[in-house]
Amino acid sequence: MNTMSKDFHNPDDQNPDGLILPYALGTLPEDEKITFESQLANDPNLAARVQSARRVLEPLGSWRAPMPPTTLVDNILVQATMTTPLEYVAASASMKPVDSESTYRRPWLGLRELGAVAACIAILVSLYVPGMQSVRSRQLQTLCDKNLASFGSGLRMYATEYDGQLPSIGTRSNVNWLRNDPNRGHLLPAIQGRFVLPKDLICPASDGSIDKEATLKNIQAFLQRSDLSFWSVPNANGPRPRINIRINIPIAVDPNPLFQQGKFQRGKNGTLSPNASTHEGRGQNVLFNDGSTRFLETPLLGKNKDNIWLADDIDEYQGTEAQQSTTDAFLTP
């Protein structure tokens, strides 16, 4: 039988014992706090019991909760802008004139005014539609970044459990990521362990529809989908980076524009696409091994300008190419 309850708190007492715990927690209203402190000054026994309560509570202070991702506020606001409160709809409906059926009013818009209004609308549309498309693209980019950050969070949790290692299903000498052995298979242990949710592998900007998340609710769908958004973890033939290495390297990125549907893509004049097409060619979301995400306007990283999508000195890819070291930024599908 413990003795603490007698020391600091009997919940059935009103005063002063019943106030010891809320006082120690700092939840007493100001007026009650002042009264209690005056009692405390004159009652050493009461003061000792307050100290006892504080000693019991003190270890709780070492329970740390992480800070939310920096994108949380923006994600909420983006979602909110895409959702209309019901009361707004109701309010707009209630603005209709009550007596519209009983009173005839001459139309205030004649043919000429209608023409002017139509012209204005056409001009406004031509001005704002591209802008709105850009806004939509940036919203999708934010959602994509949210999923990528969530994906990264899951990878870090996995690595915490497995001594800093990223998920892997082992190695084989004949892995061919261009043909039919996608590197995303290495994520399987993290998905099986529910560190990573399959939906976090989807970039809405890439798939064109957020609803497509529904198709990734099981592992079979995850493995069969060829259009997953994040091209993750280096080829199994190469060294696998650890999550806590000192040099910050990318571990996942938006779809590679160079390898689409298993084929190596070039532009009309034979040039390589500089950025993923996912975000209108503006750049790509990149996840780093410290869990941070950034939108990079170029696939070149660091002072060495390491290309995240290309292996050095290789023109024709066979599907067996891999990163050269744990600091090589080369990512394969």
Partner 1 sequence: MNAPTDEQLLASHLSGDPESFRTLVERYSTELFQFVFRFTNRNAAAEDVVQDTFIQVHLAGKSFDPKRRFKPWLFTIAANKARDHLRSRTRKREVPLDAQIGGDDDDGQRFLDLLSDEMQSPTTGMEDAEQSEFIQSIVDAMPPHLGEVLILAYFHRFPYRDIADMLDIPLGTVKSRLHAAVTHFGTRYREQTGTEEEASE
Site for partner 1 in 6-35 (CB under 8 A): 7, 9-12, 18, 21-22, 25-29
Q: Which two tokens stand for residue 180?
A: 């039919």
Restricting to residues 54-83, name those near partner 1 by CB under 8 A: 55-57, 59-60, 62-69, 72-73, 75-77, 79-81, 83
CA distance linking residue 325 with residue 333, whole number of Å: 18
Q: What is the DSSP string of 29-61?
A: -HHHHHHHHHHHHH-HHHHHHHHHHHHHHGGGG
CA dist., res. 101 & res. 172, Å (int): 77
By the rule CB under 8 A, 3 interacts with partner 1: yes
Considering the complex, state which of residue 39 and residue 79 has its C-beta at the smaller distance from partner 1.
79
Cα 39 from Cα 16, distance rounded (Å): 8
Q: Which is nearer to partner 1, 10 or 39 (CB)?
A: 10
Name which of 251, 196, 205, 256 is nearest 226 in CA terms. Answer: 256
Site for partner 1 in 212-231 (CB under 8 A): 218-220, 223-224, 226
Q: Which stretch binds partner 1 (CB under 8 A): 150-158, 263-271, 282-290, 318-326?
A: 150-158
Amino acid code (one letter) for 280: E
List beta partners, residue 250.
288
Instruction: Check residue 172 for interaction with partner 1 (CB under 8 A).
Output: yes
Among positions 183-202, residues that touch partner 1 (CB under 8 A) are 185, 188-189, 191-192, 194, 197, 200
How far apart CA 195 and CA 154 sit, in angstroms, is 5
Least separation in angstroms between CB 140 and partner 1? 16
- Cβ 305 to partner 1 shortest distance, Å: 33
Which span (106-114, 157-165, 202-210, 321-329) binds partner 1, by CB under 8 A? 157-165
